[in-house]
Amino acid sequence: MFAPFALLANFASEALLILASPAQAPLDPPLRLGHARFFDVQAHRGGRGNTVENTLPSFAWGLIDGASTLELDNGITKDGVVIVWHDEEITPAKCTDTAPVTPDDPDFPYVGKYIANLTLAQIKTLDCGAKRQYGYPMQLTYPGTRISTLQEVFDFAECADPTHQILWNIESKIDAEHPEKTKSVQDFVQKQNAIFSASPYVSSITYQSFDWRTLIAMKTVNPSILTSALIDNDTAIMSDNSTSPWLGGLRLDAFPGPTAAAQVAQAAYSIGADILSPAAESSSTPVPDPDMPGYITFTTRDMIEEAHRLGMLVKVWTVNRMNIVDQILDWKVDGIITDYPNVVRRVVKHRGLPAAPKYPKQRVLSSHEKSHHHPPTVRTLPSGLPSASFINLAARAPAGHGHEHGHGAAGPRSDVPPKWAGSVSRSSTLGLVSRTLVTAPTTGVFQNRLLHTSAVARDAPQVPDFSHYEAKSPDTNRGLAYLMIGSLGVLSASMAKSTVTEFLSTMAASADVLAMAKVELDLASIPEGKNVVIKWRGKPVFIRHRTQGEIAEARSEDWKSMRDPESDESRTKKPEWLVMLGVCTHLGCVPIGEAGDYGGWFCPCHGSHYDISGRIRKGPAPLNLEVPVHDFNDAEGKLVIG
C-alpha cells in the first residue's frame, strides 16, 4: 500500500520552502534526463495524423518517420491486462464489433462499453483499424487491426529496435472525476510498473498522467522512473473554483509564483515531477493559430522558464500547427508531442537542432508483420508464421459424379477451385506445403478438367502437319543453318562495335574538362542546409553545407555495422562540409539530394539509399559515395577539389 497524500504533503512542504527563498538559483536537472541525445519529437499515439492511433501500425510508422519517443496510452481490462488505448470506452468512431467471444455472450456488442468492464478476449475481437477518424483526412487505415497489450507493443519494438534506442512516454488513463469508469490508481501503478520493470526499456520510459495521484504513487513504487505532469486549463482549475481532483489535492493559488503559469510549474515540481507537459493552447481559444487575433495560449514563456529554473524539462502537447511549433521552439521548449512527427522533425532539423535518425523502413515493417497476431483458426508453424492448409488428395468425389475419367477411379476433390491445375506436395521435415498452380481461364475443351493427370484423347488439340515443308535432304538443312548463324554473328559484331565506339566517345571528357584538374568554389555562396552540384573532370560533385543536427545524426550512427563501414569523421575534413562524387556506386546514375529513407540521397534507378554522410544504407549499391581529393583554403574561404 502507498500513502500518496502523505508523500504529497512532504513534497509540497519542501517545495514551498525552496520557492519562498529570496535568491532562487536554477536547480540541476535530473541526471537521468541526459539520455535524450536529440530534440524530443514525440509521436502522439504513434502519429495519429498519419496512421490509425495507438496501434502497432502507428508505432511502426512513428519509428519510420523518425520520432525520438513513442507516446501512448494505457487502459486496464476487466481481467487486469494493461492494453494500449486512449479512450475509457470503446467508441463506434474508432472500433467495430466483429463477433462475440462466445455465442451467447451477454456483453455483446462490445462497442459502447467501458474497457474496465470488458475482458481482453472480448476486446481482441474488435476491429480498431478500419475507420479513418474525423479531422485526420490523411490517416492511413489498417482494417482488421486489433488493440494491443502493452507487452505486445514492447515485443514489437524489441524486434524493430534491437539496440533499445527508442524512448517511451506512457500515460495512465484514469478519470479522476469519474473513478467508476476506470481501474484504480493502485491498479494502474502496480500493473504498469510490473511490465515496465521487466522490460529492457525500463530506463527509457517516462510515466505521464493528468491524474497527479498516479505520478506520486509511481514515485513511491519506483523512484527511478521519470514522471511527467500533464495539465491543461480544464484540469488546472474547476469551473466553480473548487480544488481540482486532477492535481492530487493541490491548488495552484497556494504557490507563490507571480503568474498562474509560473504556479503551474511550481505545483508540478512540488510532486517530484521530472517533466512538465502542458497543453499548447487553451481549450477556450476561439482561433487555432497564434498569428490570428484572439488566440489564447496555455503554455507561456514564463511557464517554461520557471520549469527550467526548477530543473524540469517542458514537453508540450498536442502541437500540429507549425506556427505554434515555431513559437514554443523560440521559447526553448524541450520536446513536442505531435500527431505529425515527420513534419515536426523537419522543422526541428531546419532549426539546426539534433533530430533522431529514422528507423529502417524495411526492418520496421518486417517486425510489424512478425508481430501481427493471426486469428486462432489459422494454424501456425513454430516460427509463428501461418502454415498453408492441407488439400487432401485422397478425399475425392465419387466416380462418375460429373467427372469423366474413363477408368472408374474416384474423382478429384470437388472443393478444389476450378481454375487450379497442377500438383500439391508437403515436406515431411519442414511442414510446408508446395503447390504448383496455373490460373488460366477455364474455357473451351478444358472446361471440366480439375487436377487431372491423364487427358482423354478426344480432348487433345490437333497439331498441324508441317511435313510438306520439310527439306528432303538433311545436308540442306545443316548448310542453311550454318549460313544463318554465321551471318547473324557478323551482323551482331558490327552493331556491337558501332554501339561501344559511340558510347565511349560520348563518355570521354572534352579538352576543356580534362584541363580542369582542379576547381575552386566560394563556400560563402552555399547557405547552411543546402546542396550545390558542380562538374569536375566530367563528373558531378555534391557539396553540402550541413547543419549541426545533420552532423549529430551522421555521427550517432553505428557505422561499424554498415555495408561499407566508414565513420563520418573519416569522410569529412570539416564536419559542416560534405564533399562527394555524385555518382551512384551501383551503375553510375546520379542520386537525388534530400531524399530516400535516410534523409540523404536516393538513386531512383534501382533504389539505393544513402544517409546524410553519403554512406550506403539500403539498396543494391555496394559502396558509399566516393569522396574526392579536396582541401580548404581558409584564408579565402574556398573549397579546392583535385
Would you please indicate which residues are annotated as catalytic (active-site) residues? 606
β-pairing, 577-581 vs 592-595, is unpaired
Calpha distance 487→182 (Å, rounded): 86
Cell of 252: 495552484
Nearest to 360 by CA among 546, 605, 162, 624: 162
Cell of 390: 492441407
Calpha distance 145→133 (Å, rounded): 15
Q: How many residues does the chain have?
A: 642
Beta bridge partners of 130: none
Calpha distance 28→351 (Å, rounded): 26
Secondary structure in 3-state letters for 18-73: HHHCCCCCCCCCCHHHHHCCCCEEEEECCCCCCECCCCHHHHHHHHHCCCCEEEEE
Please report how the helices 361-371 and 56-64 are oriented relative to each other, as an axis angle in degrees rounded to 10.
Answer: 170
Provide the sign of the torsion angle of the four alpha carbons 35, 37, 39, 45, taken in this order. Answer: negative
Identify the helix (H) or strand (E) that includes residue 278.
strand 275-278
Contact 261, 300 (CB under 8 A): yes
**Which string of DSSP letters, residue by residue, matches 211-222?**
SHHHHHHHHHH-
Distance of alpha carbon 147 from the chain centroid: 17
- What's the DSSP call for residue 426? E
**Sheet hosting strand 519-522, strand order edge to edge:** 519-522, 638-641, 630-633
Cell of 143: 482494417
| Contacting residues for 425 by C-beta, under 8 A, at least 6 apart | 433, 434, 435
Calpha distance 293→447 (Å, rounded): 74
Distance of alpha carbon 210 from the chain centroid: 27
Nearest to 36 by CA among 273, 274, 324, 280: 274
Calpha distance 580→531 (Å, rounded): 11
Q: Is 169 left (phi over 0), alpha (psi -120 to 50) or beta?
A: beta
Say what the alpha-carbon torsion angle 360, 365, 371, 375 is, to the nearest 10 degrees.
Answer: 180
**Which runs of consecutive H residues, i.e. helices, occur in 87-204?**
120-123, 150-160, 185-198
